[in-house]
Amino acid sequence: MRTVDLIQRKRNGEELSPEEIRWLVESYTRGEIPDYQMSAFLMAVYFQNMTDHEVGAMVDAMIDSGERIDLSSVSGPKVDKHSTGGVGDKTSLIAGPLAAAAGVKVPMLSGRALGHTGGTLDKLESIPGFRTNLSIEEFREVLDKVGFAVIGQSEKVAPADGKLYALRDATATVESPALIAASIMSKKLAVGLDGLVLDVKVGAGAFMKRQVEARRLAQMMVTIARRKDLRAQALITDMNQPLGRAIGNALEIMEVSQTLLGAGPEDLTQISLELAARMIFLGRITETLDEARDLATRLLVERMGYMKFKEMIAAQGGNPQVLDRFELLPNAPYSYEIVSPRSGYVAAIDAEEIGRASAMLGAGRNTKEDTVDPAVGVFLEVKVGARVEEGNVLCRIHYTNSEGLQEAIDRIEDAFRISTSEPEPRDLILEVVG
């Protein structure tokens, strides 16, 4: 097989066979196909899409690029949760501990910042000492003992996703439903799960801008899961404005702590509770979804998720005190206030612009070799619907150096729309698939 022929056929809109897809994934993972050819292939997929057969073949090849994590020795139902990517989306770190506190085992295989969206692994790594590179044995031990453990894909687990994820991020090929589905499902199916809750984001700050695309992506992933006998449900949730108020790695850990203590922003709390409830229900801890919702709410009120998250941080080498003493987290030395140019209502806060600005300050990556700055980000003082007067602070930018600062300021100023009329409230949870 010649890579250039496969690129050409995909570029021309042809369907590739499972063997051809497998050969591409295996050869690229082994380093036998250079980045420039794989980039061209990804761009062809971006424009031409993939059939369900092709996506299925890609998922299988990506899982087989590494080891599968057998969790049969860990007792209890194993349920994971994954988001397709959002801005300020830290729900995994709230829903995961709550579900674990209810008795679900949550083996989470998470990702890093991608495009303008954040990544759970980067957020966790802002905690001093926290290790996301546990061996499979250590991962199993933390899961068994604590009920919640998070690692990333690695040389051993779904290595193809690691390489492709970084390449997509650097080649503007992230927003392809087929590539997103293959990336997520290859990680999730590499782990022996009983259930999976997917949060498919839609709107300005999501990779899927329209609900019909988000629905298609949700259906694709739920179908892939069901074919492998995995119970799966997908929520389609709004990502027009950032979720919660904090955007940026350490800032988001602080907001997770506040939310697990019951003092978090309303939107973040609502979505996290619903995701936790679905995890509890899929794990068959309760008989009905309503019982699962009641249980998740009670665990939040009783701070059981907060205790569980602390336990997990300690088990993965981090300092759990960061949840009480935010000065132990990386804090940016400088801040800059964006103020409202006029009086009125906050009609929109474009999540993609805020995510891009935050990435530009160092919270995300421009090239796949970049490291992230855990301290930087944006903190929203207002959310959509708030009444503001001219000169009121809309948000604070936390930065470490002035590189990229002016462009970030311009983007953030553009992201806010102030209008004379009060905007209609929007639903947060738009649809359930599966």
Cβ proximity to ligand URA: between 111 and 264 the closer is: 111
When the beta carbons of 144 and 213 are compared against ligand URA, the nearer one is: 213
- Is residue 38 within the footprint of ligand URA (CB under 6 A)? no
Provide, rounded to whole angstroms, the least separation between the CB of residue 4 and ligand URA.
25
Starting at the earlier edge strand, list the strands of the sheet with 246-247.
246-247, 377-380, 393-399, 334-339
Beta strand 106-110 with 148-152 is: parallel
Q: Are 409 and 338 in contact (CB under 8 A)?
A: yes
- Exactly one of 7, 127, 142, 180 binds ligand URA (CB under 6 A); that residue is 180
Residue from 161, 238, 350, 373 carrying the catalytic annotation: 161
53 noted as active-site residue: no
Q: 167, exposed or middle or buried, with CB in 10 Å at 0-12, 13-18, 19+?
A: middle
The residue nearest ligand URA at its CB is 183
Burial 376-408 (b: 16+ CB within 10 A, else e): bbbbbbbebebebeeebebbbbbbbeeebbeeb
Of the residues 112, 116, 123, 168, which is catalytic? 168
Please identify, among the stretches 124-132, 176-184, 213-221, 379-387, the one whose residues bind ligand URA according to the rule CB under 6 A: 176-184
Q: Out of 154, 183, 186, 340, which one is annotated catalytic?
A: 183
Residue 42 in contact with ligand URA, rule: CB under 6 A = no
Query: Is 92 a binder of ligand URA (CB under 6 A)?
Result: no
How far is the C-alpha of 210 from the C-alpha of 201, rounded, in Å?
A: 10
Catalytic option among 22, 78, 105, 187 = 187
Whether residue 104 contacts residue 280, with contact meaning beta carbons closer than 8 Å, is answered with yes
Q: Which amino acid is at 158?
A: A
Give the Å distances, CA to CA, from 273 to 96, 146, 148, 431: 10, 20, 16, 16
Contact call for residue 84 and ligand URA (CB under 6 A)? yes
> E strand or H helix at 349, and its extent?
strand 344-349
- Whether the CB-CB separation of 179 and 46 falls below 8 Å is answered with yes
* Binding status of residue 120 toward ligand URA by CB under 6 A: no
Residue 402 a catalytic site member: no
Is the Cβ–Cβ distance between 305 and 125 less than 8 Å?
A: no
Instruction: Check binding of 85 to ligand URA (CB under 6 A).
Output: yes
Decide: is 196 part of the binding site for ligand URA (CB under 6 A).
no
Question: Does residue 11 contact residue 48 with C-beta atoms inside 8 Å?
Answer: yes
For the segment 283-302, give every residue that binds ligand URA (CB under 6 A): none
How many binding residues for ligand URA (CB under 6 A)? 8
Site for ligand URA in 335-374 (CB under 6 A): none
Per CB under 6 A, which region of 35-43, 87-95, 183-191, 195-203 contacts ligand URA?
Answer: 183-191
- Is 190 an interacting residue with respect to ligand URA (CB under 6 A)? no
Q: Which of residues 206-265 bind ligand URA (CB under 6 A)?
A: none
- Is 161 among the residues known to form the active site? yes
| Known active-site residue 187 | yes
Under the binding rule (CB under 6 A), the answer on residue 184 touching ligand URA is: yes
Paired tokens of 338: 């964006």
Q: For ligand URA, give the closer residue by CB, 310 or 365.
A: 365
Going by the DSSP 8-state scheme, the letter that residue 65 receives in this structure is T
Asked if 126 is part of the footprint of ligand URA (rule: CB under 6 A), the reply reads no
The Cα–Cα gap between 260 and 90 comes to 11
CB of 114 to ligand URA, least distance (A): 6
Could you tell me the two tokens for 69? 């994590």
Report the candidate in 97, 132, 57, 75 with the shortest Cα–Cα distance to residue 308.
Answer: 97
In the complex with ligand URA, the residue whose CB is nearer, 183 or 286, is 183
Active site (annotated) includes residue 163: no
Q: Which of 10, 81, 82, 123 is catalytic?
A: 82
> DSSP state, 207?
S
The residue within the footprint of ligand URA, chosen from 3, 91, 173, 183 (CB under 6 A), is 183
Query: Which residues lie closer than 8 Å to 184 by C-beta, 6 or more apart?
Result: 82, 84, 198, 221
Q: Which stretch binds ligand URA (CB under 6 A): 123-131, 180-188, 192-200, 328-336?
A: 180-188
Compute the Cα dihedral for 371, 375, 376, 382 and give only its sign: positive
Instruction: Show which residues are catalytic.
Output: 82, 161, 168, 183, 187
Binding site for ligand URA (CB under 6 A): 84-85, 111, 114, 180, 183-184, 187
